[in-house]
């Protein structure tokens, strides 16, 4: 296993603690933050904000914004540049900024990492410079141009300080994911993922994209980090993708999805998982190995998604268009889960061996090229015992 060098750092652990702290009441959040370094808390939270700011592609000159946060030991100052993709969070203060944002640090953390409702902005103060004023009424007056850029920057920054909920199809297009356009998966994802959107989900996607090129891929990882503003996103690929520019809540791991032992180790380390998405090799053997290894690491109520099921019918990918019930193909394997879903109804002595998933798969949703498997307790009672399983019901009338 080769990990993204960012995966085990203290910053990632801090993000998890901030997500947990933001879940409580304001007093509980303050108590949980009391043991943290205020500067580290502020910088980590601002890094998340700048990731969200970058979603908006707005023309205009970059604007330096003074962020003023009230911490337990006094005011904390930082300068962020809205409109500069390479901008970093810099400590310090600047004189006469075009935009100044002030907020209590605890509330700032809750606004960024907390649930979308209720919004946290009671202590937020926003100031735009209004001097010396324009020299003319022309729209291209230099002061007017600068003031308009500052106004847009302020809006982008404030919007990024909330749990924004952008459209998934729009995110796919924005980052170049084929989940909309190359395929049409995003409506199905929205249907199943919407109830989890405001939760602190743990998501693992198999397959990062870009093939062997270390600086290519990651489109859907970017998409998921913005769709789940409080989620932790992990990407697995057989090639090293640690050089990809990802946000603070995204980590990459290098490994083989066909290696069951590796996947089990990974599941123990980053789980329990809420969502697993298999967009990896699409080879039937890999799809089945991955499911068997990772489904046990999915928490009850979790979702396991398999993409691009068309390969289950292609011989070159380990599939078949003739042996449609072959459990060695990914589609044939999914059909066995249907029998397991109804295991309570099987007549004893039928010859089917029990499977581990019989009592843990609670739902199957099949779409063109896409399957969503629900996990939970599949222990409902069967049909009433007095209903005969072996006699023709018509003969009893």
Whether the Cβ atoms of residue 177 and residue 223 lie closer than 8 Å to each other: yes
Long-range CB contact pairs, 386-392, < 8 A, 24+: 389/347, 390/347
The segment(s) of the chain belonging to CATH 3.30.1050.30 are 2-160
Spot the catalytic one: 282, 297, 365, 368: 282
Mention every residue, 6+ apart, whose C-beta is less than 8 A from residue 384.
none
pLDDT at 5: 41
Distance, in Å, from the CA atom of 386 to the CA atom of 397, rounded to the nearest integer, reads 15
- What is the CA 160 to chain-centroid distance, rounded? 17
pLDDT at 7: 43
**Which residues in the chain come in under a pLDDT of 50?**
5-7
Q: Which residues pair with 254 in a beta bridge?
A: 2, 237
Return the CATH class of domain 168-375. Answer: alpha beta
CA-based angle 175:176:181, to the nearest 5? Answer: 130
Mention every residue, 6+ apart, whose C-beta is less than 8 A from residue 210.
216, 217, 218, 239, 241, 244
The CATH code that applies to domain 2-160 is: 3.30.1050.30
pLDDT at 163: 66
pLDDT at 164: 62
pTM over 0.95, yes/no: no
Q: What is the pLDDT of residues 131-185, one digit of tens each?
A: 788 888 887 888 888 888 888 888 888 888 876 678 899 899 889 899 998 899 9
The segment(s) of the chain belonging to CATH 3.40.50.150 are 168-375
Based on the residue annotation, tell me whether 297 is a catalytic residue of this protein: no
């Amino acid at each position: 296993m080769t990990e993204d060098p960012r995966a085990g750092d203290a910053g990632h652990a801090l993000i998890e603690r901030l997500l947990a702290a933001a879940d409580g009441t304001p007093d509980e959040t303050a108590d949980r933050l009391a043991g943290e370094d205020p500067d580290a808390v502020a910088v980590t939270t601002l890094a998340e904000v700048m990731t969200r700011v970058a979603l908006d592609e707005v023309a205009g000159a970059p604007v330096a914004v003074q962020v003023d946060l009230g911490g337990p030991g006094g005011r904390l100052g930082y300068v962020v540049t809205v409109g500069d993709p390479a901008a970093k969070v810099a400590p310090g203060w600047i004189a006469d900024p075009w935009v100044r944002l002030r907020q209590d640090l605890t509330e700032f953390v809750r606004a960024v990492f907390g649930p979308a409702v209720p919004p946290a902005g009671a202590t937020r103060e926003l100031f735009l410079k209004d001097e010396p004023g324009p020299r003319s009424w022309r729209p291209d007056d230099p002061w007017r141009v600068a003031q308009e850029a500052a106004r847009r920057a302020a809006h982008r920054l404030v919007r990024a300080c909330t749990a924004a909920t952008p459209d998934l199809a729009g995110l796919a297009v924005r980052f170049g994911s084929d989940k909309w356009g190359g395929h049409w998966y995003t409506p199905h994802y929205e249907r199943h993922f919407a109830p989890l959107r405001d939760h602190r989900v743990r998501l693992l996607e198999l397959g990062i994209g870009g093939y062997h090129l270390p600086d290519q891929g990651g489109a859907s990882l970017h998409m998921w980090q913005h769709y789940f503003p409080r989620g932790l996103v992990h990407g697995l690929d057989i090639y090293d993708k640690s050089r990809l520019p990802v946000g603070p809540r995204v980590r990459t791991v290098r490994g083989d999805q066909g290696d069951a032992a590796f996947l089990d180790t990974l599941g123990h380390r980053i789980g329990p998982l809420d969502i697993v998405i298999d967009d990896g090799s699409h080879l039937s053997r890999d799809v089945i190995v991955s499911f068997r290894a990772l489904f046990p690491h999915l928490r009850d109520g979790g979702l396991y998604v398999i993409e691009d099921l068309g390969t289950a019918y292609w011989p070159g990918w380990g599939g078949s268009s003739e042996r449609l019930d072959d459990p060695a193909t990914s589609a044939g394997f999914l059909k066995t889960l249907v029998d397991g879903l109804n295991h309570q109804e099987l007549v004893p002595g039928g010859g089917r061996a029990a499977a581990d998933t019989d009592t843990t798969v609670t739902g199957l949703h099949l779409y063109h090229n896409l399957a969503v498997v629900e996990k939970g307790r599949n222990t409902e009672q069967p049909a009433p015992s007095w209903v005969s399983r072996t006699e023709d019901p018509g003969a009893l009338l």
